[in-house]
Structure 1
Amino acid sequence: MKKAYKEEVDAQVAEFFYTSAIPFNVIRNPTFAKMCEMIGKYGVGYKPPSYHDIREKLLKQVVKKIDANLEEYKEERKRTGCTIMSDGWTDRKRRSICNFLVNSPKGTIFLSSLDTSDISKTADKVFKMLDDVVEFVGEENVVQVVTDNVANFKAAGELLMQKREKLYWTPCAAHCIDMIFEDFEKNLKVHELTIKKGRKITTYIYGRSMLISLLKKFTKGRGLIRPCVTRFATAYLTLACLHELKASLLTMFSSEEWKTSKFGTSQEGRKVENVVLDSRFWNNVSTCLKVAAPLMVVLRLVDSDVKPAMGFIYEEMDSAKEKIRSNFNNIKKSYEEVWKIIDARWNNQLHRPLHAAAYFLNPHFHYEPNFRSDDGREVKEGLYFCMRRLIPDMAERRKINLQIVEFHNARELFGMEDAKECRKQLNPGEWWDMFGDGTPELKRFAIRILSLTCSSSGCERNWSSFEMVHTKGRNLLHKKKMNDLVYVMYNSKLKSRQIRKTIALPFDDIESDDEWIVEEAYDVVEIEQVEGENDGENVHLDGNNEDAQYSSEEELDEDDDADDDDDAIIRGLED
């Protein structure tokens, strides 16, 4: 009997999906399967809830259920501290939405979504919003507030630190690294020129459906656009994808199918062909990636939910600079301008005492021979600045000062073989939880710092979720109800999100940057002018072309010899 009804029931489920414009992947939602199971248990005669019930009574019930599920996260905040994350977002109706989330080692919780379209974004207004969230979460639980580094949020963060003297405001690390990528493109001629040429290739191909089909034939189905969590990182990841598919692109633009097509015989098509077949372009792609790949590792770190990043960013930023120097064979003139750009953002915008303190307290680095405890006093100054701000009680700080000696010299529990074995196996906060019992005050201080995130990209990764709720059909819903819908949608996925944690960059569900797909009318002309200025020259990192001395043939030979080294650098983007 059941088999006889199966096709009929499936057809009705499909019709419901089609007529309600429900995305097909909803069928994979575990709650959908649970719903079907519950209806089956009820049996014949089940009537669905009324319109009023599903938007009022049942929504309130689910909110209460989520509240209960989040109690363990709220309890964790008391022990580990937490980060309040805030980020702005604009929906399809051009409304400004400000999202507030709370991060702790167990996961990131959505708090509220506020429509700020009618609120002036002055520092005072932003400060009031942030201050209200801190009050709601509990000042005693908040170690830092992370936002973008735009002027009004920066000013609001400073006002918040003046009022709330036991927490920090820090700029979003992912946003700051994105600004470094932007600075590369603006200030280094080779990056500006190469990204424009790369964009020229992708926009030309993706603006023509026949070329997309031809591309996939030669690349075995792979595309050229590599979306990322930030706009300017997308540019460099797409350059990396072009590099990976270099052989396929060279074959495609040398093939009879291309040459005999209407595109291969057009003036614009030949310009794109010349770019792809120009060995100088591929040399410059490699140059750009030698700079970008190490920083992409840092971006992956601060954007990941796998482990709290605060204990690692200080060392990773320094390692990225060293890797860049190594990529250019320690030739100072090749990396000097790159370092200046990185240092300007790090010193003037991103670096905070929390980063240095977390580096000092991280057992992953503290016992290494190259640990920089006296590196220009910066590390220890950061440690003691944090202690004075986060621990105002002088008596407790005295105890911690004595306990730091025990930690530094690996005495008692810190010196046990198990503690030594786990220095790099456990997350830093977990290590302190396991082996810090002999120094309880230092243990609490260390856990609260090492449990912190470094960015607010958790907000950005969930814009698509907010967009699903903030739809045209729900524009008339009361703000409280809209907030409840997002609250339920986001927080009900916390458990499954923990299971699926991965260090890979979240390429799925991120919109590609349109400027890598949609052509701009002036693009070809502008780049052609730049090409004319640099014809016969090899573009250098500092933008000076005076020393160029290689012909195209010599550059091609150089490029072939360097391919293996370049491939190793590109693989760093994937690892």
Structure 2
Amino acid sequence: MHIANFFYECGIPFNAANSRSYEVMVESIGQYGPGLKPPTYHELRVPLLKKAKEETEKLKENHEKSWKRYDCTLMTDGWTDRRGRSLFNFLANSPEGTFFLGSVNASSESPDAQMLANLLESKIKEIGEKNVVQVVTDNGANYKLARQILEIRMPTLFWTPYDAYCVDLMLEDIGKIPAFKKTINQARICTTFIYRHGRVLDAMREKTSGRDLIKTGATRFATAFLTLDNASLPLLQVLHIADGDERPALAEIAATIDYAKTEVNKKFGNTKMAIRNKVVKIIDDRWNIQMGKPLHGASLFLNPGRYFDLVQVLRIANGDERPKSRRNLEMQKWQSGTKW
């Protein structure tokens, strides 16, 4: 309760208890035993902060060695916070892992293509131009123009948009099809009414054994389809893989997109050809416009074993094949929403 009260009184987010550093801290306190003197306010903000910074610099050195040996990918993401500031995060990924390079406050400038190109170029030079082989960014129009500017300046650079964002846009377009839009809007009206009335919400949870109607997805468009219990929608399977954190998914994306189109054709068949054709066209158009590079196919070609594992897993997820004992646990986790 003392630990819990510390969280409550200081307003610490509960997800802090999921961090590895939290477990290490509690274990260290237990190993020290009685008499431990906690760090003071001054120690936390001056000497210990300085020590943590030095340790981070040492950690960065290991990443820098990996960047020079294997090269790396520069990743960036931008957004506007509640104070109206335009912020950009920069991270470098290599076999050593992902390292946070820092944030840039670009509120004083318009986030146009020229500004983005200059920002990215400065970070590439900070890492070492010869050590950066790829840049991964948002799929917005300003980033596309920035790509053209930067590829002229650095011809050896390879630019890749976010796969998950591309799939998210596919779901957005599919949600605009009248056959889906009407149902999604009705579901939103229903869930909004229930979640705004405490007694109705309590009665609903009593009848559903505590289960909620709304399922949180990786993106807001995925959430709409998950809420309608369309978890078997092939594109959601692609999104699960693209948005996974445990291993690189580049080799699987092209194969899962093709598999998704095959499943769409099977699910709609000849009875709903108009809807089927619209969905397939949306997938093709978004993929060609947003991605438009053969990188995914090349990755799958260089990792052929990943294809056969992937096809079997997707068949199991769709109920077309019984899982082997070795995969039972993995599939149970995947079908319950656990990311790969």
Among 191, 196, 204, which residue is 1:215 paired with? 204
Letter in 1 for 2:205: K
Tell me whether 1:128 sits opposite 2:107 in the alignment.
no
* Aligned partner of residue 111 in structure 2, secondary structure: coil
Task: Assess, with a 3 A threshold, how the Cα gap between structure 1 residues 343 and 78 changes in structure 2: closer, same or farther.
Answer: same
Letter in 2 for 1:234: T
Tell me whether 1:203 sits opposite 2:144 in the alignment.
no
Task: Assess, with a 3 A threshold, how the Cα gap between structure 1 residues 502 and 32 changes in structure 2: closer, same or farther.
Answer: farther
Task: Assess, with a 3 A threshold, how the Cα gap between structure 1 residues 503 and 216 changes in structure 2: closer, same or farther.
Answer: closer
* Aligned partner of residue 210 in structure 2, secondary structure: coil
Aligned to 2:239: 299
Whether contact under 8 Å (1:82, 1:102) holds in the other structure is: yes
Whether contact under 8 Å (2:91, 2:102) holds in the other structure is: yes
Whether contact under 8 Å (2:238, 2:256) holds in the other structure is: yes
Whether contact under 8 Å (1:311, 1:355) holds in the other structure is: yes
Tell me whether 1:152 sits opposite 2:142 in the alignment.
yes
Aligned to 1:161: 151
Task: Assess, with a 3 A threshold, how the Cα gap between structure 1 residues 341 and 16 changes in structure 2: closer, same or farther.
Answer: closer
Matches for 1:169-568 after TM superposition, within 5 Å? 169-186=159-176, 188-240=177-229, 289=230, 293-329=233-269, 332-364=273-305
Distance 1:66 1:233 in 2: 36
Letter in 2 for 1:197: Q
1:195-238 CA deviation, whole Å, 9 max, x = no partner? 10111111010010111101111110010111122111111111
- The unaligned stretches of length 5 or more in structure 1 are 1-9, 241-288, 369-423, 426-500, 506-570
Shift of 1:503: 11
Among 94, 103, 114, which residue is 2:93 paired with? 103
Aligned to 1:48: 39
* Aligned partner of residue 229 in structure 1, secondary structure: coil
1:47-104 CA deviation, whole Å, 9 max, x = no partner? 73343x4223321211221232344444333444322211123333332221111223
Task: Assess, with a 3 A threshold, how the Cα gap between structure 1 residues 335 and 79 changes in structure 2: closer, same or farther.
Answer: farther
Shift of 1:183: 0.8
Among 52, 56, 65, which residue is 1:75 paired with? 65
* Aligned partner of residue 107 in structure 2, secondary structure: coil
Letter in 1 for 2:150: L
Whether contact under 8 Å (1:297, 1:573) holds in the other structure is: no
Distance 2:333 2:122 in 1: 34
The one of the two structures with greater contact order (alpha-carbon pairs below 8 A, sep at least 6) is 1
Runs of 4+ aligned structure 1 residues displaced above 6 Å come to 501-505, 572-575
Task: Assess, with a 3 A threshold, how the Cα gap between structure 1 residues 123 and 365 changes in structure 2: closer, same or farther.
Answer: same
Give identity over the alignment, percent: 39
Alignment TM-score, normalising by the size of structure 2: 0.82
Shift of 1:179: 0.8
Task: Assess, with a 3 A threshold, how the Cα gap between structure 1 residues 30 and 140 changes in structure 2: closer, same or farther.
Answer: same
Shift of 1:190: 0.6
| The 10-residue stretch of structure 1 (119-128 or 357-366) with the greater mean CA deviation from structure 2 | 357-366
Distance 1:320 1:87 in 2: 27
Letter in 1 for 2:193: Y
Whether contact under 8 Å (1:105, 1:308) holds in the other structure is: no
Shift of 1:39: 6.3
Task: Assess, with a 3 A threshold, how the Cα gap between structure 1 residues 572 and 359 changes in structure 2: closer, same or farther.
Answer: farther
| The 10-residue stretch of structure 1 (198-207 or 330-339) with the greater mean CA deviation from structure 2 | 330-339
Aligned to 2:25: 32
Letter in 1 for 2:243: D
Alignment TM-score, normalising by the size of structure 1: 0.50
| The 10-residue stretch of structure 1 (56-65 or 66-75) with the greater mean CA deviation from structure 2 | 66-75
CA RMSD of aligned residues (A): 3.1
Larger radius of gyration: 1
Whether contact under 8 Å (1:314, 1:359) holds in the other structure is: yes
* Aligned partner of residue 251 in structure 2, secondary structure: coil
Aligned to 1:399: none
Distance 1:212 1:504 in 2: 28
Shift of 1:352: 1.0
Distance 1:307 1:132 in 2: 28
Whether contact under 8 Å (1:143, 1:167) holds in the other structure is: yes
Aligned to 1:113: 103
Task: Assess, with a 3 A threshold, how the Cα gap between structure 1 residues 323 and 573 changes in structure 2: closer, same or farther.
Answer: farther
Aligned to 1:396: none
Shift of 1:110: 1.6
Shift of 1:330: 5.3
Distance 2:256 2:92 in 1: 24
1:350-390 CA deviation, whole Å, 9 max, x = no partner? 23131222122222268x8xxxxxxxxxxxxxxxxxxxxxx
Distance 2:110 2:121 in 1: 16
* Aligned partner of residue 233 in structure 2, secondary structure: helix
